[in-house]
Structures are given as C-alpha cells and as structure tokens.
Amino acid sequence: MKTNLKTLSASGFAAYIAEAGLPQYRAKQLLHWIYEKHAASIQDITELSKELRNRLSEKAYIGNLSIIDRRTSKDGTEKFLFGLEDGESIESVLIPDEDRLTLCISSQVGCAMGCRFCLTGTMGLKRNLAPYEITDQIINVSRAVKPKVITNIVLMGMGEPLANFDNVCEALQRMADLMKISPRRITLSTSGLAPKILELPKKGPRVNLAISLNATTDAVRDYIMPVNKTYPIRNLLDACRRFPLQQRRRITFEYVLLKGVNDSVEDAHRLVKLLKGVPSKVNLIPFNTFAGCEFESPPEKTVRSFQEVLAAANLTVLVRKSKGQDILAACGQLKAKYG
Ligand code: SAH
Ligand code: SF4
C-alpha cells in the first residue's frame, strides 16, 4: 500500500526520507510544497526532476480530502462538505469579514458532548479526525478559493477539539511549523474540558482560547451542556484564570442566548461576576434553530438588554450575528449531510 505523505508528522517525514535513501533537504522541500504551496499530487512538485517524482510516486502519494459539495450563502459565507477516505463526511465554513477570511474547521466527525442546543451534538461521535484530516480542510479550501488567502483559523466546526487532544495538538503544530500560520491567528473553542485547557499550552503552539460558556448557573449549564457535570463552572473558570495568556490577549467567552433559559438580566449580572479577573471578551450568539430543537432564539430587545449589562460593567461584548443560516452553516448547524 502506498503511503499518504500527509499522514506523516515532521519527524516521521524525516525518517521516511532517510529510509528512501534521499538526503534530508528533500524532506524540507516536500513539506514546503505540500503545506505551503498546497501541491495536490507528487507530480505537481515541479521543482523535483521527473525521475524523482516518478520514483517517489511508486511508494507514496499526496492524499486530499474530496470536496463533495460547496454552497454559498446570501451573506457570502461558504460551506464546504468534505468526503473522508472511509466514507464519513465533515464540514468547514469560510467566513469573509472586512479584512479577514476566516475558516472554521472541524476536529471530529460528530461530537460526543451532547449539548442540547447543537445539531452536531445530536449526531453523537462517529470518530476523531486524524491530524491531516484537520489540516487538509485548510489546504483544500485554500486551493479552492485562490487567489484569496485564508487569514484566520477557528476550531469551531464539528466536534470538541480537546476531546481529540493529541491529534488536534499535532494539527496545530503543523499549522504553525509547516503551514506557517501564526498561532495568534488560530482560535480553539472548547465546551470546557478543564484539565485539557491547561495541558494545551504545554503541548501545542500558543493559540487563542474560546470557551463555550452558555450559562451562569450549574443547574442550567448541567442541563444544556452535560460536560458541566464533570467540570462545573467554577472548575472551568479556574482553569481559565490559570491559562497562560500572551501579552494583550484575552479569552473569548461564547454565550448562546436561549430564550427564557439563560438570557435574563440576572444572568447577565452573574456573568459579569463570573468573569471578574479573567481577561475576557464576550461573544453573544443568538440561538440558531434547527428542526426538533427545544429552544428558541430570544427577541432582539432581550439580546440588547443582556449586552447593555455587560457593556456597563466594562466587558468587551459583541453580538455575533450568525452567518450562513440559509445554508445551515451557522454555529451549531453543522451535520455534514448532503442534500
Ligand atoms: N465543540 C466546541 C467547538 C464547536 S464551536 C465548542 O463547543 O466550543 C460551536 C459553537 O457554536 C459553540 O460556541 C456553541 O456554543 C455554538 N453553538 C452550538 N449550537 C448553536 C446553535 N444552535 N446556535 C448558536 N450557536 C450554537
Ligand atoms: Fe459538541 Fe461544541 Fe456542539 Fe457541544 S457545542 S455538542 S461541544 S460541537
């Protein structure tokens, strides 16, 4: 069986090249073509002689996720559906915004965390993504949108990144070292696996952290996000306080507003108290509905009142209008079903 070169880590690559009897500078050259120039096949690496390309192709290939579907929303958001080698599928969402082009990528097929407001959560976990399946979303979308360039990466698609810790860390390492994406332009979002939050900066590059908080009492959070029963709010915020932040960086707290559940003025005041001492910014996300969900989106007036309480307490707060709702590309709407 041929080796997909993208399954190799940087050190695995060095070993592979040594075994093939080639000098080490070839490893660097190949990695540059695969991760920075996004070569789709060994034959595309025109810097190599035809002879060397043929020789490599006998035992190796450059695998690519296949784009099964690509849809554009009225607001310019694009959703990419990828087929994986075993027939599973995942989604990535490309979000243009003034001077940024952000790609929201998936870390798992499905998700085991079971948050009640999230469509991905209703599918359960199918499997973890391999490191190359995570980075390949970036490579393949980059190729598809040329000459536009992706400027920011968010791990906010399908899956709980910290529940696929080792593979996600390896993928982040490749983004930083091989794809030359600055970790400052990468944000990982988690539902709150507290111990892993503290392990992250030790293992991977120093990316930005986002926390899906979504409630201000354990009773409500236990109900909407079962992970809270294992790592309750106090535990989670304690991990946030200990998370080593780069200078002038802040933790983003995402707060999905669910009508009558977590959207009261009292909630807003409690949120202010909870975030005391944490360098933070808050993204309020009005709930995006989907068929069969028990929640509703609050009226605009409620969102504004909530926002005003936070702003009055000098918290940086943004209401994040979800994009791409017409193509089910908005937060919590990814299910990777074709049709
Ligand atoms: N599993 C990680 C990464 C996915 S991010 C996490 O939960 O953080 C998905 C983001 O979308 C989370 O902030 C989540 O709170 C939000 N979200 C999920 N379902 C949503 C919905 N139906 N409407 C609005 N936001 C939603
Ligand atoms: Fe999983 Fe995040 Fe959805 Fe919760 S919100 S089910 S953790 S993807």
Which structural domains are found in the chain, ordered by start?
Answer: 3-61 (1.10.150.530), 66-338 (3.20.20.70)
Task: Please report which confidence band the pLDDT of residue 337 belongs to, taking 50, 70 and 90 as the band edges.
Answer: low
Please choose, from the candidates 257, 289, 322, the residue with its C-alpha nearest in 3D space to the C-alpha of residue 73. 322
Q: What is the per-residue pLDDT for 51?
A: 96
Task: Among 160, 168, 331, name the best residue to mutate to test ligand 2's pocket (greatest count of ligand atoms within 8 A of Cβ).
Answer: 160
Task: Please report which confidence band the pLDDT of residue 65 belongs to, taking 50, 70 and 90 as the band edges.
Answer: very high
The amino acid at 324? G
Q: What is the per-residue pLDDT for 325?
A: 72
Regarding the beta carbon of 115 and ligand 2, being less than 6 Å apart is answered yes
Half-sphere exposure for 253 (CA within 13 Å, toward CB): 26
Higher pLDDT, 255 or 334: 255
User: Which residue, by CA, sits nearest to atom 4 of ligand 2?
Assistant: 115
- Taking residues 229-246, what's their average pLDDT? 96
The amino acid at 8? L
Residue 52 has pLDDT above 70, yes or no: yes
Residue 326 has pLDDT above 90, yes or no: no
Higher pLDDT, 295 or 248: 295
Exposure pattern of 237-263 as b/e (b: 16+ CB <10 Å)?
bbbbeebeeeeeeebbbbbbbbeebbb
Read off the pLDDT of residues 71-128 as tens digits, 9 standing for 90 and up: 999 989 999 999 999 999 999 999 999 899 999 999 999 999 999 999 998 889 999 9
Half-sphere exposure for 96 (CA within 13 Å, toward CB): 11
Residue 331 annotated to the active site = yes
Q: Where does ligand 1 bind, in terms of residues with CB under 6 Å?
A: 117-118, 156, 160, 189-191, 212, 214, 254, 256, 285, 287-288, 331-332
pTM above 0.85? yes
Residue 170 annotated to the active site = no
CB atoms within 10 A of CB 267: 19
